[in-house]
């Protein structure tokens, strides 16, 4: 077999895929394609590990000799991209980078590749290819104008973050992908440009496709969370917030940022989306930054009435200090209780308060007899703000009685009790059994007084399961509790 390397028609065959399929080459000494004779191997070497360079002269080993076959073998590149994805996906090194630099700078090749599903899959699964593309203005522009290409990258290709981190045509690509037809967004090159532009962010926030794309990217969400412009736009849109609330990537970024959480906490639209999403609530409940923002906003706190919120808060513990601060602020009067069960723009409602107090299984509400207990003050504040119903239990016997048998998800706070007869003991507790010693059915509150007494014994007044008992010593007990069952 011989070839005339000066005759293009004679060498056309060697510009096609078979050249790179060793099993189809008739010469058993085929070794591959190389860029110079200075590094030629002397043993058989498959093409996918051969020393191919993207520029300069190209040689092929045929008929026991190295044959020069031309420069810039784009047919070789075609073979690489179309058929050798598995080979170069994990490739590294300057020679591979050189190849993809050649590809990215050739508009004809790029247009060809971005129009082919197989080649796009291979390119977007290659770290080297995506890094080269992201670093090329011309390649990013071509990709940014292609819906097919952008759909292969967004929202979740292996190297989507590489694309988001590009300095070229990121806005164009997102605009194309989401079909927004927004010239302002299309003209913005970088993520940082996008998140600080209110016009672009308004277009993105109105599109679930665009929002789902940015919500899945840590690069974008970290930038969004740090931008008051972006967060104010996102929190005003239910479309945008639903996308953010459903994404752990997005919510982790938001929950870690005081800028983002302050914006979320100030928006009823945003907080309603957060309170309805287990993904969002789990992120918020696990973050002191997020919980500090919540307890600083009546809007945010009063949204905490959902079963989703209760489940997340009850099982969390990281931000317990935030709830302890909440209780302290209630005691000091800097947090106002009121507004009935729903609360108001200037007061914390009952239902939300009970859900918030369930954090870490109620760990912020210690027993009334604790040395630095907030419970008596908290209980008295709750009594004054929410006017609980007076309940009565009378008996001529010394007895305990189940006042409330909690159902699933019910929260009960034992507020206070007093006796109709001075000297006759009454109490509230979480265990059955009459005692007059402040145990069992009086282990939360025990008194012989005829005026209301708040929690004063060794058990927390907050119940998340079990039964609240009342005990009487041959008299009548007047007792108060507050309850809420989120659903």
Q: What is the pTM of this model?
A: 0.83
Q: Which helix or strand (DSSP H or E) is residue 329 part of?
A: helix 320-332
- Give the pLDDT mean for 256-269: 98
Higher per-residue confidence, 46 vs 189: 189
Q: What is the 3-state secondary structure (H, E, C) of 94-150?
A: HHHHHHHHHHHCCHHHHHHHHCCHHHHHHHHCCHHHHHHHHCCHHHHHHHHCCHHHH
- Would the pLDDT of 333 be above 80? yes
- Give the pLDDT mean for 187-208: 98
Domain residues of the chain, as ranges?
Answer: 8-72, 381-484
- Give the pLDDT mean for 36-47: 45
* CB of 469 closer than 8 Å to CB of 441: yes
Lowest mean pLDDT of 8-12, 143-147, 169-173, 439-443, name the range: 8-12
Lowest mean pLDDT of 33-42, 120-129, 249-258, name the range: 33-42
- Give the pLDDT mean for 374-384: 88
- Give the pLDDT mean for 393-404: 96
Lowest mean pLDDT of 59-63, 98-102, 472-476, name the range: 59-63
pLDDT digits (tens, 9 = 90+) for 263-289: 999 999 999 999 999 999 999 999 999
How buried is residue 263: exposed, middle or buried, by Cβ count under 10 Å (0-12/13-18/19+)? buried
Angle, nearest 10°, between helix axes 268-275 and 278-285? 100
Residue with tokens 């604790």: 370
- Residue 442 has a pLDDT of 96
Residue 380, C-beta contacts closer than 8 angstroms, at least 6 positions apart: 416, 454
Adjacency order of strands within the sheet including 445-447: 398-405, 467-473, 426-429, 445-447
- Compute the C-alpha angle 303/304/305, nearest 5°: 95
For residue 348, the Cα-to-chain-centroid distance in whole angstroms is: 27
Written as six digits, the tokens of 125 are 């699964």
Residue 369, C-beta contacts closer than 8 angstroms, at least 6 positions apart: 456, 457, 458
3 state SS of 399: strand
pLDDT digits (tens, 9 = 90+) for 439-454: 999 999 999 999 999 9
DSSP H stretches of helix in 145-247: 147-153, 160-164, 170-178, 183-186, 191-195, 198-205, 208-215, 218-225, 228-235, 238-245
Core vs surface per residue 319-333: b (16+ CB within 10 A) or e: beebbbbbbbebbee
Q: Per DSSP, what are the bridge partners of residue 478?
A: 392, 418
pLDDT digits (tens, 9 = 90+) for 281-327: 999 999 999 999 999 999 999 999 999 999 999 999 999 999 999 99
pLDDT digits (tens, 9 = 90+) for 204-237: 999 999 999 999 999 999 999 999 999 999 999 9
- Give the pLDDT mean for 8-29: 34
- Would the pLDDT of 84 be above 70? no
- Give the pLDDT mean for 329-338: 96
């Amino acid at each position: 077999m011989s070839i005339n390397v000066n005759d293009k028609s004679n060498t056309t065959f060697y510009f096609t895929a078979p050249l790179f399929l060793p099993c189809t080459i008739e010469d058993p000494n085929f070794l591959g394609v190389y860029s110079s004779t200075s590094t030629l191997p002397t043993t058989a070497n498959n093409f996918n590990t051969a020393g191919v360079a993207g520029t300069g002269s190209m040689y092929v080993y045929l008929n026991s000799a190295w044959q020069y076959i031309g420069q810039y073998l784009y047919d070789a590149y075609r073979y690489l991209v179309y058929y050798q994805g598995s080979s170069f996906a994990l490739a590294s090194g300057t020679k591979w980078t050189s190849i993809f630099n050649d590809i990215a700078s050739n508009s004809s090749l790029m247009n060809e590749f971005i129009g082919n599903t197989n080649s796009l899959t291979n390119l977007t699964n290659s770290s080297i290819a995506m890094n080269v593309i992201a670093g090329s203005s011309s390649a990013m522009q071509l990709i940014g104008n292609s819906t097919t290409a952008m759909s292969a990258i967004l929202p979740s290709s292996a190297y989507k973050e590489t694309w988001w981190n590009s300095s070229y045509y990121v806005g164009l690509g997102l605009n194309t992908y989401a079909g927004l037809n927004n010239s302002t967004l299309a003209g913005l090159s970088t993520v940082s440009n996008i998140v600080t532009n209110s016009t672009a962010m308004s277009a993105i926030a109105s599109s679930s496709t665009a929002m789902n794309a940015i919500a899945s990217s840590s690069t974008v969400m970290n930038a969004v969370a740090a931008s008051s412009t972006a967060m104010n736009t996102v929190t005003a849109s239910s479309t945008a917030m639903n996308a953010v609330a459903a994404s752990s990537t997005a919510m982790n970024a938001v929950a870690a940022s005081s800028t983002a959480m302050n914006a979320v906490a100030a928006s009823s639209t945003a907080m309603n989306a957060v309170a309805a999403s287990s993904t969002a609530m789990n992120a918020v409940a696990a973050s002191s930054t997020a919980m500090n923002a919540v307890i600083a906003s009546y809007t945010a706190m009063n949204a905490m009435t959902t079963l989703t919120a209760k489940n997340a808060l009850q099982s969390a513990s990281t931000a317990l200090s935030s709830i302890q601060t909440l209780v302290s602020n209630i005691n000091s009067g800097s947090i106002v209780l009121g507004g009935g069960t729903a609360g108001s723009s200037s007061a914390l409602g009952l239902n939300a308060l009970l859900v918030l107090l369930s954090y870490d299984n109620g760990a912020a509400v210690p027993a009334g007899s604790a040395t630095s207990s907030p419970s008596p003050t908290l209980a008295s504040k709750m009594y004054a703000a929410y006017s609980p119903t007076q309940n009565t239990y009378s008996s001529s016997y010394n007895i305990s009685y189940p006042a409330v048998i909690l159902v699933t998800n019910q929260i009960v706070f034992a507020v206070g009790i007093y006796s109709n007869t001075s000297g006759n003991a009454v109490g509230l507790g979480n265990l059955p059994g009459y005692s007059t010693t402040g145990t069992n059915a009086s282990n939360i509150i025990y008194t012989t007084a005829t005026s209301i007494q708040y929690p004063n014994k060794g058990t927390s007044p907050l119940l998340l399961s079990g039964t609240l008992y009342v005990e009487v010593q041959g008299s009548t007990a007047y007792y108060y509790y507050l309850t809420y069952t989120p659903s």
